[in-house]
Chains A and B, each alone.
Chain A
Amino acid sequence: MDLPLLSASFLAFTLTLYVILDGFDLGVGILLLFQPAKPARDHMVDSITPTWDGNETWIIMAGVTLLAAFPIAYSILLPAFYLPVIVMLLALGFRGVSFEFRVQSKQHRRAWDVAFGVGSLVAALMQGLVVGGLMQGVTVQNRYFAGSVLDIFRPLPIISGITLLFGYAVLGGGWLKLKSNVSLQHFASRSLRICAPAFAIFFAIACIYAVRIQPGIRSQWASHGIALACLVGLFALAAGMLTALSGKSRPALPFLLGLLLFDVGITGMAFIVFPKIVPFSVSLWDAASSSTSQRLVMIGAACVTPVVLAYSAFAYWIFRGKTPEDGWKT
């Protein structure tokens, strides 16, 4: 069995789950900055409070899978994205502690709401920078990163940072539409109406720019032309539907369309990167650890992941339906 391919699939699975699940958490956090009313802010945070921790755990899973299965890729990519990753970690830290602080600290609640929003925004921006950094390619020499830590602050990563910001806001708006009560429906629709087209436009700019600067992407486009064109069409269709329907659709539809947008985007990226794992230089077989390590991770993942998914789903089911007006009682 091709163990590195299996590990890479598991890695893609964990990353996708992280982007989707923490994506709407971060999106709600970003939208929090634009909500002036305090009760509405409480309601927004309440909609994600019981399950955010499990959502965030998927990024640890992704990072550690990379370490265990592809230690060479891990030790190239993290120094390459040193600055955005550290800023992202600090921002996620602010976001994470704000959940507790904004409830327990009576005097500084407003300040913690700002910390929550800015933390979410900066984390999203930094994740976008990393995506852009991957797409512009990583300089590798002799199995170590050989570029500069400042390579990341170029136009493509910055454009993709803004793209992801709007993308997460779309997911957050969809989530609020699904979970919030009447008072927030209007806010959710309005944020979808603004963010969905912005996401699509910035995504298009990022794609066009990436194709222009990176020959690796051009060659992938040449070999998977039809598949990638279908994905682009699907993305445009979903974005158009989302913009048109954001006002009057059924509550679950915008969220599902947001998920579709992200799935299409991630699949497109997978087409472009595969079979490399460090874009355009190291393939996933060259970066893989020995088969004994791969096997242990894969056996563990095969046995435990279904259980994890089952009780995570159970937790979501317990907190199903609209978020209560006066929050969760501890």
Chain B
Amino acid sequence: MTLDPSVLARIQFAFTVSFHIIFPTMSIGLASFLAVIEALWLKTKNPTYLQIYRFWLNIFAMGFGIGVVTGIVLSFEFGLGFARFAQTAGPAIGPLIGLEVLTAFFLEAGFLGIMLFGFNRVGPKLHFVATCMVAVGTLLSASWILSANSWMQTPAGVAIHDGQLTVVNWRHVLMNPSWPYRLPHMLTAAYLTASFMVAGVGAWYLLRGKHQEFARRTVALGTAFATVLIAGQVFIGDIVYGTMLKYQPSKMQAAEGFWEKQSQSPAPYYWFIVPDQKDQRNRFALATPYLGSIWLTHSLKGRVEGLKNTPRELQPRMVLVFYAFRIMYCLAMLMFAMGVASLWLRFRGALFNSRWFLWMLVFMSPSGIIATLAGWYVAETGRQPWVIFGILKTVDAVSPVPSQALLSTLIAFVCVLCHLHNCLRDLYIPDYSPRACGSSCLRRSVWFYKERIPALRARQSETIGG
């Protein structure tokens, strides 16, 4: 069996970057959350805020550490796996990442020590400044790296002379067409991730009847942030969708699951498809009629463009883009529903004692991470076969490294990162065992169908009867 180095290099990069992005997403959100909490503590002197701060500071420290060590890998992986990409794109994205290191990484690293270990060494005001600096560092870092990635999606400001790329306008590289929308999209995603994590942990303590004061504050804050943010995110997401439809139509064509150049009118909205890239059709599809026209064209009978508009050799793999997009989209809808529910419960004063809602919050706590990952998969798999859209193809970007070397390091990465994941799980979920977790879910649902529903029915018939 021969292994294609370009496939191996891509799998290695995808695996390491997927593992990495989980942690910065959490740290961007948590850093700002910690700054808010510390500000509240300085203002009110309520010790609960200090308790919240210290609890999340520990988790932030761990997440930040893992983010740093997995991020270093990426800054070298451009050259390790994709030497030709580095040589072509280095003049454009190299300086952006260089400025990211200078303005963001050092800022975070320099003040992180004070934030973590400086409680007794500096005054509370200076400590708050350190927390804010770390939070600003995470935002700057996101801003630079989104600029670099957005440039790969919608390149601008460069000229190419016999394969050599030179930058003609830095402002156009930096503020390339998709950056102004993708940056707020990612930042809101990070804040949503932190909000649902914080609310989920608080809900868990409320359900367990432990640390009530701490739990109430975190649930109240987490759901409040989440409600505001998800409303904004739906709006921002729509703008990002429109921008990408303009610059990378193939990505959005694949994300919606249409093949024909013009879909039928009215267009359905696909929920589940079995796409066949070879025959350029869906073998099976499950859809809601009319919904596609309404959502995608904002009219009752509008038509949607399909993937056949893109030449076959320039098409992304529909199955990856479609399902990544569906996962992100459905989670966003679920988050929106949670936001509405939290508002309603807050209005009725039942936010802390509706057990179903608290259980939902517990289950939703990783939703931000999953949605963010799915969103990145849409962005990156949808850009294929290009690595720099319209300029350099992924297959032409790889290093002259033999596939045996790539395969062995890929296995090493998988082993090390899986081990790291297990260590984290043992640390934060000490009594975790897949079987116990599964069986308790099963028991809950059996209990729900066997006892709860009949009980509700009985009560309903009583009221109707009475």
Residues of A within 8 A of B (CB): 49-51, 53-54, 56-57, 59-61, 63-65, 67-69, 71-72, 74-79, 82-83, 85-87, 89-90, 92-97, 99-101, 104-105, 108, 143-146, 149, 289-290, 292-293, 296-297, 300-301, 304-305, 308, 311-312, 314-315, 318-319, 328-330
Contact = CB atoms under 8 A, between A and B. Distances in A.
B83 A318 contact: no
B61 interface: yes
Interface string B402-438: 1001000100110010001001001100000000000
B291 to A, nearest CB: 46
Among all A-B residue pairs, the 3 with the closest Cβ atoms: A71-B90, A68-B94, A78-B79
B16 to A, nearest CB: 9
A54 B117 CA distance: 14
A92 B70 CA distance: 9
B340 interface: no
Contacts of B98: 61, 64-65, 67-68, 297, 300-301
A308 B102 contact: yes
B211 interface: no
B102 A92 contact: no
B117 A319 contact: yes
B117 A75 contact: no
Interface of B: 54, 57-58, 61-62, 65-66, 68-73, 75-76, 78-80, 83-84, 86-92, 94-95, 97-103, 105-114, 116-122, 164, 166-168, 170, 399-402, 405, 409, 412-413, 416, 420, 423, 426-427
A290 B76 contact: no
Contact of A51 (B78, B113, B122): B113
Given A92-B69, A304-B103, 5 more contacts: A67-B94, A68-B90, A79-B80, A97-B66, A293-B90
Nearest to A310: B110
B95 A293 contact: yes
A79 B83 CA distance: 7
22 contacts: A50-B114, A54-B110, A56-B72, A60-B71, A63-B79, A64-B75, A64-B97, A64-B101, A67-B94, A69-B94, A86-B80, A97-B423, A104-B62, A104-B427, A290-B164, A297-B98, A300-B99, A300-B103, A308-B102, A315-B110, A315-B114, A318-B122
Contacts of A76: 83
Contacts of A79: 79-80, 83, 399-401
A152 to B, nearest CB: 11
A297 to B, nearest CB: 5
Contact of B102 (A108, A300, A314): A300
B87 A143 contact: yes
A78 B406 CA distance: 13
Nearest to B430: A107
A277 B124 CA distance: 48
B91 A68 contact: yes
Contacts of A68: 90-91, 94-95, 97-98
B110 A100 contact: no
A75 B83 contact: yes
A101 B170 CA distance: 42
B68 A83 contact: no
Contact of A85 (B80, B101, B108): B80
Contacts of B107: 308, 311
A314 B107 CA distance: 12
A69 B87 CA distance: 11
Contacts of B413: 86, 90
B159 to A, nearest CB: 10
A95 B420 CA distance: 12
Contact of B95 (A50, A94, A300, A318): A300
Nearest to A112: B423
A68 B58 CA distance: 35
B94 A82 contact: no
A75, A85, A96, most chain B CB atoms within 10 A: A75
Contacts of A54: 106, 109-110, 113
Contacts of A61: 98, 101-102, 105-106
Contacts of A63: 75-76, 79
B113 A319 contact: yes
A301 B416 CA distance: 35
Given A65-B98, A89-B72, A92-B72, A289 B91 contact: yes
A297 B80 contact: no
A296 B97 CA distance: 11
Contacts of A82: 80, 399, 401, 405, 409
Contacts of B62: 97, 100-101, 104
Contacts of B65: 53, 96-97, 99-100
Contacts of A57: 101, 105-106, 109
B100 to A, nearest CB: 8
B111 A75 contact: no
Contacts of B86: 67, 71, 74-75, 78
Contacts of A312: 106, 110
A90 B414 CA distance: 11
Contacts of A78: 76, 79-80, 83, 86, 399
A138 to B, nearest CB: 13
Given A69-B94, A89-B72, A92-B69, A330 B87 contact: no
Contacts of A72: 87
Nearest to B90: A71
Contact of A96 (B69, B79, B110, B116): B69
A315 B69 contact: no
A112 to B, nearest CB: 9
B62, B122, B400, B413, most chain A CB atoms within 10 A: B400
